[in-house]
Every structure is written in C-alpha cells, then in structure tokens.
Amino acid sequence: MDFLLSHKFPEISIPFSWRRVWVVLLIVCVFFGVGFFGLVSYANTYTNHVFSGVSIGSVPIGGMTRDELVKYIELMHTKFVRDGIVCTYTVHDVQKTCLLYPSVVSDDTILEFVHVDAEREADFFVSYRKDGGSLTRAWSAFNIRLSKPSLTLQYVTANQDQLLIAFQRELGQYETPNRNASVSIDEIVSLTDVAFTMVTSSSGISFQYDNAVRDVVSSWSRLKSPEIVVSSINTEPTVTEEHVRTIVGRLPNVFAPGGLDVHYTDSHTKRDSTWHITEVQLKQWLDVQPIADRTHGFGLKRDAVVSFLESTIAPMITVSARNARFAIGDGGKVKEFLGSRPGVTLDIEKTYQAINEAILQRTWHDEGVAVSVRVVSTIVEPVIKTGEVNDLGINEILGVGYSNFSGSPVNRVKNIRHAISDKLNGLLIKPGETFSALEALRPFTIEDGYLPELVIKGDKIIPEIAGGLCQIGSTLFRMAMNAGRPIVERRNHSLVVGYYNDHRNGLPGTDATIYDASPDFKFQNNTNAYMLITTEMNEKTGELTFTLWGTSDQTTGQYSEPVVEQWIPAGETKIIETTDMKPGEKKCQSKHNGAVASFVYTITHSDGTKEDREFRSFYRALPEICLVGVEPSIVSPTSTEQLLVEQALPIE
C-alpha cells in the first residue's frame, strides 16, 4: 500500500497536431456551409411564393404564388359581400340577429362598403420579410416557419358613412334619444315675469355603431366572416330638472334685453348688413346647456340656429374667390375689367358659438350683456389679384357706394341699366381730373338709349327723357365719400324720395341729384394714379353698387348716418283741372313730406389728421297733386295762377 502511494507513474505526453484542428474546423465549416446553402436554397424556393408558416388570421397562405393569393383574396371578399354581415344586438334583454349586405346597386353599378385591394395585398405577402441579402432572407424563412405569424390584410378600406347608414337603418328603430330637462316658454308677461313649463328629462338607448364598423373591418382583414356584436348603451341626460331649478330664476334676464342683432361687414365692399333674431325666435330656440365647472345656463339650440344661419345669412355673404381681368378698348375706356376679390364663406360653427355665448351671458349678468354679435367668416384669397393684370396703378378698392331702386317702373330701370352698362362701367378717371356725372352720362336722348319717364310739370304730365338718373348721382356720391375723395359739387333732391334714403337707417340726407344742364355731381381724383369705376346692378333685389378702384394714398373716408332735424307735413291734396286729359280722367303725383336733414362726411388723411364736412339738406313739402281732366268751358280761371304759384317738380 505504501508502495502504491509512493510510486510515481510516468507522464504520458500527447503530441500537438494541427491536422486535428483543421479536421475539426473543416467539419464545422462543412456543417455550417451545408446549413447555410440549405437555408438559402430553401428561401429561394419561395422567391415567388409566400413564406411557409404565414397566415392571414387563421387561414394559412404559405406557399401560395402571387396570382393564387390574388384569386383567393378576391374569392373570399366576394363571399363576404354575398353572405353579408351577421350582427347581434340586445334590446330590452332580448337578443336579436340581423343580416346586413355591405353593398348597394345603383345605375347598374355595385358600390361595396368594404374594399380590398387584392393586388397590393398579394404583393405585400409575397414580399413579406424578403428584404436584405441572402442570409437575411434565409433566416427570415427559417424563423417564419417556426414562429408561424398570423397577419392581417393591409389594404382594407371601408366606406364608414355607408356602413353606419346600414347599421342605423336596421337598428335605429330601437334607439331612443335621451332628453335633457329644459323649459318651454308660454308667455313673456313682463321684464321680470316669464311663464314657462318644465320639460322633464329622460334616459335614452343608443348603439355603438363606430365600434361595429371597426369590428367589420377587423374581421374582413383576418379573412373571417363578419359576425358582429353591436353593443347598446344607456345614455343619460346631461341636464336634469334640478339643474334647471338652479337657474330658472334668471329666465327673465334672457329676454329683458330683447332680441339679438347679427352684424356683418363685407370686407370687399365695406357694406354693412344686419339680421335680427327676435324674442319669438329666442323663445323657440331656448335651451338649457351644461357649462364647465358643473354650471348651467340658458343658451340656444344648435340645430335651430345653424338652420337660421344656413338659410338666412350664408346665402347673403357667401362669395367665391374671383380672379382679376383687365383690358382697355378703343377710346381709352376699359372694355373688360373684373377686379379680384376674396372669397367669403360663413363660419357657421364659430358664428353659432358667438350667438350662443351672447345669450348664455344673460343668464349670469344683469348689465353689459350683448344685444348684438358679429358674423364670423373665412376669407379665401384669389389666385390673380387686380394689381397683377394692369399697369395703370389700379390695385385696390378705394370706396364703394350703394343704393336700392326696388319698385322702379320699367323705363326707369332701363335708364339706370343703360347709364351704368354703357356709360359708367369701366370709366377711367385721370390723376388730378374732376369727374362730372353729367359729362359721363350725356347725351340724354332716345337715340343714345335713354327712355322717357312720365313726370308732372305744371298742369301737364309729360314724358321726360332719362328719368331715374338721380339714382346714379346718389350712388356715386356715396362711393366718392367712402373713398375719401373731395366732393366738388353736390346738391340734394328737392323732395324726399324713398329711392335715395340712406340704406342704414332709411332716412333722407345722403343723396345727390343731377339734372341736365344743372345741377351736377362732381368729385376729384386727387391721387397720382388712375381711378376706375365699376358697376353692379341686381334687378331682382334692386341693389345698385358702384366701386371706385385705384392706388390708395392712405386717405380714407366715411359718412355718418343722416339725422332728420325736422319733418315738414305735406299738407292737403291739391286738385288741378286740365283740358289736356279726358274729362273725368285723374292722375296724381304722390305726396312728399318735407325735411331738414344733415350728416357729417369725415376724411382721414395719411398723417392721421381728420377733416369733417357737414352736409345739410332741405327737402320741401309737396302735397299730393292730382290732375283732373275737364271740359274747356269749366276750367277754373284761377288754375293757371295756382300752377304758377305751386309748380310741381319732376319725379326724380
């Protein structure tokens, strides 16, 4: 034993051999090489096929060629459209089932609510994870075969609006909207007493259509027959009777200020327009609304106000953007001019919010509440602007004049049309030139295109050529003032004539008469550039609009609304006998109350200084004057003397 413990065995030496190393390395390389080339070869077999292991949802598509996959996807899509969408929903604890067909046939065309681009889908799946080099593709093929990924179609699009309509058509009959508590106004007794009836609140039932549409697309994308559960929810009112009771004491404050004015100023023509929301409309539109911080207030029903805006205001202010056109013809007159102007659209949502907020504020405040709001509009600029199409310096609008000729006789309308179309529209005014209305409108002859209008002169009713042109003078006067130009000559009419009353308050004072050879209306182009007059005439509405174009010298003008200081009664009807009419025949000129009126024209110069000029107008009173035909033997001997004393003026 001691021998064994003490005995030393001889060391065995194994000589190092590079040959063995190379053999091992060679075996490893062969192994990996065979594996690599095997994987590459395997991956290459799927160059035009979908990698093995890939599926769409639970449907395996590995090994399919592009054409095979296109046909298969189209086949499945056709099947889904043909079989329809199975939907399940619950109403009052009773489960119901419906079948919706996701297509509609119109004019021999099938509109499918769900569309699949089979060509792009096939391209996606055939090329799935085949980017990169050979090794990357080989590894992808191996990995996919093991992991077996479940994918979805990538190019499924849904016509959500049509799908929603289809669901609502089937399920809508079971829906009940919730109802907020509110008040129904019975009578506005006084500024402090409003009689009303409480409108009670109630719960409602609605279906989650958006989720159903999403589930249809999800099923389609997994090549699974659409079997959809449409969930229903109870919708609770946001305003209860208790909420109404907390503010009902403020109800009189909503109506105490009266109705609400809605104002709009055309940025192009500077013309003001106003629409009035009456107390009756406020009663009908009143709504109790939840506000932030759990407070409530009296506002207006959105649908009712939007309907009012769309039907009443939007048509009056909506204008498409207009590109400029400019061409000068023979004689130096512009033969074609169309000034650019921005497009305008009514911002219905923001305008509703402004109106609603004005009424809401009446719930909480006793003083300083709004009685008017301004329209909110959106501006769209034209592509070609006025300054880009001419070299005369006619770049922008300097001022706009407006009047209304509604109710005019036929010949009067024709005279106005002839004057603006053939005389004024396109007229250029040189730098430093004084414009004369009479010079621009002459000659006043039938041959030139003017027609006669019957007027009373003395004891006769005779045709007067070019009657109605004072409409032109008044509109030019307002245009020149809004442009801030010096008024060289102006005279008011002798009588108060409704055609010429100021459109803002309906009172006389801002008119200008013209009559050959005098009086005339004149203003000066005191700029260093040409000015251009353009005209618009709307025979349906009676609107007459003149626009003065040029290069702004930073001078602006405006004029106040006229004020009538005194009204003068017309007096009793005057009867005048005449032998120029058949016995018993009677023709009358309307009576005109007289007036003393005034307004202030303000010019603001480029340096900010202002120049005020007061225009005062005296309109004489004229009773109704009737001409009555009589036999020559019974004419009153004082008729002639009476006519000399009280001469009736022409109807201007």
Residue 41: per-residue pLDDT: 66
Structural tokens at position 563: 């004020």
Domain extent listing, the chain:
245-317+346-376, 391-645
CA–CA distance, 228 with 160 (Å, rounded to integer): 15
Chain segment 471-525, per-residue pLDDT in tens: 999 999 999 999 999 999 999 988 888 888 998 899 999 999 998 888 999 999 9
The contacts of residue 267 (CB under 8 Å, 6+ apart) are 342, 344, 379
The label of the residue with tokens 């550039």 reads: 529
CA–CA distance, 349 with 330 (Å, rounded to integer): 50
CA–CA distance, 91 with 174 (Å, rounded to integer): 7
Residues in the chain with pLDDT values less than 70 = 1-18, 20-24, 26-43, 104-111, 294, 323, 330-333, 383-384, 388, 454-462, 633-652
CA–CA distance, 525 with 552 (Å, rounded to integer): 11
Residue 34: per-residue pLDDT: 55
List phi, psi (to 5°) of 445.
-130, 160
Which is it for strands 286-291 and 295-300: parallel, antiparallel or unpaired? antiparallel
Residue 350 belongs to what H/E stretch? helix 348-364
Residue 547 near residue 534 (C-beta atoms within 8 A): yes
The label of the residue with tokens 């004005």 reads: 358
Instruction: Identify whether 517 is preceded by a cis peptide bond (ω within 30 of 0).
Output: yes
Residue 156: per-residue pLDDT: 92
Residue 461: per-residue pLDDT: 46
C-alpha distances in Å from residue 195, one per residue of 255, 309, 366, 526: 12, 28, 20, 63
The label of the residue with tokens 């809508």 reads: 172
DSSP letter, residue 420: I
Residue 510 near residue 487 (C-beta atoms within 8 A): no
Q: Which fold has domain 245-317+346-376?
A: Ubiquitin-like (UB roll) (3.10.20)
Which is it for strands 625-629 and 574-578: parallel, antiparallel or unpaired? parallel
DSSP letter, residue 132: S
The contacts of residue 7 (CB under 8 Å, 6+ apart) are none
Residue 650: per-residue pLDDT: 39
Residue 226 near residue 217 (C-beta atoms within 8 A): no
DSSP letter, residue 494: S
Burial of 133 (0-12, 13-18, 19+ CB in 10 A): exposed
CA–CA distance, 519 with 515 (Å, rounded to integer): 5
Residue 646: per-residue pLDDT: 41
Structural tokens at position 103: 């297509």
The string of DSSP codes covering 572-621 is SPEEEEESSS-TT-EEEEPPB-EEEEEEEEEEE-TTS-EEEEEEEEEE--
**How many Cα neighbours within 13 Å face the side chain of 521?**
26
CA–CA distance, 46 with 173 (Å, rounded to integer): 53
C-alpha distances in Å from residue 99, one per residue of 88, 106, 170, 226: 9, 20, 9, 10
Residue 478 belongs to what H/E stretch? helix 470-482
CA–CA distance, 536 with 234 (Å, rounded to integer): 57
Chain segment 570-616, per-residue pLDDT in tens: 888 888 888 888 888 988 877 889 999 999 999 999 999 999 999 99
